[in-house]
Amino acid sequence: MAEATMTLSQKFGISRRQAYRYLQEAQAIGHAVPVVAPSVPITLKLPAHIVRDVRAYSVISGATLSDIVTRAILAFLAAVRGHG
């Protein structure tokens, strides 16, 4: 634990105390947390009715707009690859 605390502290420029707290929280989770790719902001222009419907779905489902759009694009790409 001490070695991991030092590594986190040095790698991310945080105090050893904060690094130790992060490690304690990670241990409390009890399972591995998946690492996700960093997100990049983009700007899209969509018809207003589509934006309205996606926002409404976001509220109902609890999913973020980014999650909804990401899933839709991944489904589209899978379909395109399957036919290409």
Q: What integer pLDDT is reported at residue 34 of this predicted model?
A: 79
Output Rg (C-alpha) for the chain, integer angstroms: 20
Annotated domain spans of the chain: 1-35, 48-82
**pLDDT tens per residue, range 59-80:** 999 999 999 999 999 999 999 9
Q: Give alpha helix (H) positions in the chain.
A: 2-12, 16-29, 48-61, 65-82
E strand or H helix at 80 = helix 65-82
Averaged pLDDT, 26-31:
87
Averaged pLDDT, 48-66:
97
Report the predicted TM-score, pTM, of the whole model to 2 decimal places.
0.57
